[in-house]
Chains A and B, each alone.
Chain A
């Protein structure tokens, strides 16, 4: 049976689609809802709680009932509104929230039990027996809850983001919006106009009057070079300072989207002014069983007829409290339907051939999966009449949400019978047209609840009835906020577009409080639901964050290195040789080779900051806890940096290349935050100092060359005398390689061996790494990665990130003496707070024959593994190939007393309880002789 009686405004091109397994035909330009109605498919869904049969209620995105799932697998999109889904050839949609089928839904039993399932019933029960909530009740509730289903397969679509700037953002492409856009464009302003629908024209498209005026304005608009028209684009949020978010649907209406075309685009629009021209949408009246398929908003009935050419029924009742109902009556009559007009008001301008009942109301409906009749009450008398469709005109809700996104509350306008924007609008925004309450046909009287039994649905999707509202009020949930949360009114996918105004009206009617004093809940973005994929954009998979590659990445890849992610960096963690099958083999070998011969490691990722200026030394003296004023030119010094609260922030080195030129290093993790901090000290605390800072982390590739043969190796590549006499421990120099490549050389050591760090401009890094290993072959040079780097520094007892955990002080690290007390430096004062200064926690070493796990806690022998007995924790651990046993470093209190004693490193998570010996953390060469060779 077809309800399509004309081409409407969409033409006659046929399109095939599938709904719940049934092949159907629609027209190009249809919404899925229109096509379903044209095919007389009225039953399209089931309500959330009671699983009542539901049909299409509205025309647009405010639709609460007709939610379907479109697509499958990687394109399965649940909770799609049939009213906004444009039809395309081959579209496949299924209904939701029903089992086993839409017609026979087992959970419709909930409807029979509705008296027990009133609002808030679950707060009063499900408490006994105690274990049943999680094992029985909640799983049942969860299975019944929700609407559509995700496929659990990766979303196959791509999404994109864009940024736009304009002088005026016009939100809404109806008459008011078009006029505003043209006015601004003629003043020379750059205009963006966003329209949710696929076509401009707004409410005029859905009226019977010819579109000549609109069409000519649209033509003018599209021809104007100052106006960017964005259709299928919904402005979703009004954010601070004229920033708006908007989403364009690019491919959801296409049968065959271009491969890789972004499904949707998220726009950030920066605009000095905004004009909200979003119009208004109609609302329902509350009467018993007002939710049957076939009951629709009057303007929707009219719209389906005039735009889509679909007649809601051969026999229609129009029920309203508003003049606007007359338009529906007229259009239905002209389309050949039998029409009855029920009006709550005392009189109205009648329509020829239409039976009218004034001072009357519809109080009930009948029919199971579709409407078959309505009950009318007029002056105490009640009677039923048959009909196929009921069009309800309950008044207008201006679409004001965006105007209230910045905390402004709407105000009730008794004249228009709707909520209009208040005085507190987002700066730069004005509201025009029916969104502001204008042009809404007058002669309205407030009609909220005319139900007899209270089985009148106020929030259709969440099944909130008049009875629920009354019960909530009776139980003391009287504020509109409590009402919303207790009953879930306004919390469905339409976010109260259908429910809120009606609910407030019903509450006002029954409590006696005026609508003004009832008030509203807050409006929040997004205006309509937005795909999470669209908000994420291109940051998918490997592109979630950038990958930073070191200069020697290519070398490492060719050498078959294993890589580790450190922040956003990819660093070589070890370089397995052919035949090595376990990482320990490679790492142990690399660590041994460094201490016995020489190894090369890419340390580019450590932060590098160039500090220049007459006051450079003074500046470093302020940011480091130890002194730098007297650092000789050509020397490097370890630098301890505290936070202002006295806790250790970072450590590194500062090398004085010239009187007014230092190069500072930081840990990899803190490269950015140290630089930020230094700029803070300079610009905010000491702007009078003549110093300039530049981050050079990415400008220089830097390699550690470490081991007893490191001098030999480095001497082969640098054009500088690096004998111990000429270039002693901690020396530094700006120099060059033997081929003239500029270079910087620092004699510093993280491993505790004789070592250098050699830096060249980044673009030469990869080839330098190659060259060093090539030239060092006869010396036994190997590349080493972060794992061996870690083993070496733990063997030496150097603190690193794990020890600098943001809670430890210089004192805890055994570096208390480094904090100079006679000069001002960041953190010195607060480091002297009592509990910090009195702390007995110290960095120590641990040795064991068994593996010690990082993250273990230390407990004395014989004591139970409980917090009260813990002495400290293990911060870094490894196997030491140089010592032939397991070692670790960590912190314990009363360290002095415990030195050389035994205790246990316990990891309850792993069931590990390991005997350890407490020793100095400097396992290898504690006197530092090898450094000075």
Chain B
């Protein structure tokens, strides 16, 4: 599989480490009243779609950037790649 790194161009996915759903970017407010419930959902429940999936990849063997990749989990086609730090801001 190839990931089109926004700065470095296409790289073999073997250079990366996969973490999971990009919903992990949206960490709940830890000091809120319902934090325990929100964090449980955040940490454990997943959509796990058969289709387009936004997910986090870490370029461990490259420039150590975290990327948000939009990929189809049925065909593996990658539709979008961007730096996580830009998405998270």
Contacts and interface: CB of A to CB of B under 8 A. Distances in A.
A and B in contact, CB less than 8 Å: yes
Interface of A: 239-243, 270, 406, 427, 644-645, 672, 676, 679-680, 682-685, 687-688, 824, 828-830, 832-833
Contacts of A240: 1-2, 76
A830 B36 contact: yes
Interface of B: 1-2, 12, 17, 19, 24-25, 27, 30-31, 35-36, 39-40, 43, 56, 58, 60, 64-66, 75-78, 83-86, 88-89
Q: Which 6 A-B pairs have the closest CB atoms?
A: A824-B30, A687-B85, A241-B2, A683-B85, A683-B66, A240-B1
B43 A645 contact: yes
Nearest to A622: B30
A645 B43 CA distance: 7
A241 B1 contact: yes
Contact of A644 (B1, B43, B86): B43
Contacts of B66: 679-680, 683-684
Contact of B2 (A270, A679, A830, A833): A270
A644 to B, nearest CB: 6
A832 B19 CA distance: 24
A833 B88 CA distance: 28
Contacts of A270: 2, 12
Given A685-B88, A688-B89, A833-B36, A679 B58 contact: yes
B40 A830 contact: yes
A830 B43 contact: yes
B36 to A, nearest CB: 6
Contacts of B64: 679
A838 to B, nearest CB: 14
B65 A830 contact: no
B39 A829 contact: yes
Contacts of B25: 684-685
Contact of B76 (A241, A682, A829): A241
Given A240-B2, A270-B2, A824-B30, 12 more contacts: A240-B1, A241-B76, A645-B43, A676-B58, A676-B60, A680-B56, A680-B58, A684-B66, A684-B84, A684-B85, A829-B35, A830-B40
B88 A683 contact: yes
B35 to A, nearest CB: 5
A682 B64 CA distance: 12
A684 B54 CA distance: 14
Contacts of A682: 85
Contacts of A833: 36, 40
A683 B65 contact: yes
Contact of B1 (A243, A672, A688, A824): A243
A611 B14 CA distance: 27
Contacts of A824: 30-31
B88 A687 contact: yes
A321 B27 CA distance: 68
Given A645-B43, A684-B56, A687-B88, A829 B24 contact: no
B18 to A, nearest CB: 11
Nearest to B29: A824
Nearest to A679: B64
Contacts of A672: 60
B1 A830 contact: no
12 contacts: A240-B76, A243-B1, A243-B12, A406-B75, A427-B77, A672-B60, A683-B84, A683-B88, A687-B89, A829-B30, A829-B36, A829-B39
Is chain B's interface secondary structure helix, strand, loop, or mixed overall?
mixed
Contact of A676 (B17, B35, B39, B86): B17
A644 B84 CA distance: 19
Contacts of B65: 683
A671 to B, nearest CB: 12
A404 to B, nearest CB: 14
A829 B31 CA distance: 8
A419 B70 CA distance: 35
Contacts of B78: 241
A835 B75 CA distance: 41
A634 B66 CA distance: 32
Contacts of B58: 676, 679-680
B5 to A, nearest CB: 13
Interface centre among A270, A427, A672, A679 (most CB of B within 10 A): A679
Contacts of A828: 30
A679 B76 CA distance: 26
Nearest to A693: B64
A551 B1 CA distance: 37
Contact of A680 (B19, B30, B39, B89): B19
Contacts of B24: 684
B52 to A, nearest CB: 16
Contacts of B75: 406
Contacts of B85: 682-684, 687
A578 to B, nearest CB: 45
B76 A830 contact: no
A819 B40 CA distance: 19
A239 B30 contact: no
A832 B38 CA distance: 13
Nearest to B19: A680
A185 to B, nearest CB: 23
A240 B2 CA distance: 8
Nearest to B32: A829
Nearest to A242: B2
B9 to A, nearest CB: 12
A685 to B, nearest CB: 5
A830 B31 contact: no
Interface centre among A239, A406, A683, A687 (most CB of B within 10 A): A683
Nearest to A268: B12
A682 B77 CA distance: 28
A2 B41 CA distance: 78
Nearest to B3: A241
A866 B53 CA distance: 46
Nearest to B24: A684
Interface centre among A241, A270, A680 (most CB of B within 10 A): A241
Nearest to B25: A684
Contacts of B84: 683-684, 687
Interface centre among A687, A824, A829 (most CB of B within 10 A): A829
A258 to B, nearest CB: 31
Nearest to B65: A683
Contacts of A243: 1-2, 12
A427 B72 CA distance: 14
A682 B88 CA distance: 10
A830 B58 CA distance: 24
A658 B56 CA distance: 33
Contacts of B88: 683-685, 687
Nearest to A241: B2
Nearest to A694: B64
Contacts of B77: 427
Nearest to B37: A829
Contacts of A688: 89
B24 to A, nearest CB: 7
Contacts of A687: 84-86, 88-89
Contacts of A676: 17, 58, 60
A242 B4 CA distance: 13
A685 B19 CA distance: 14
Nearest to A645: B43
A159 to B, nearest CB: 19
B10 to A, nearest CB: 8
Contacts of A239: 1
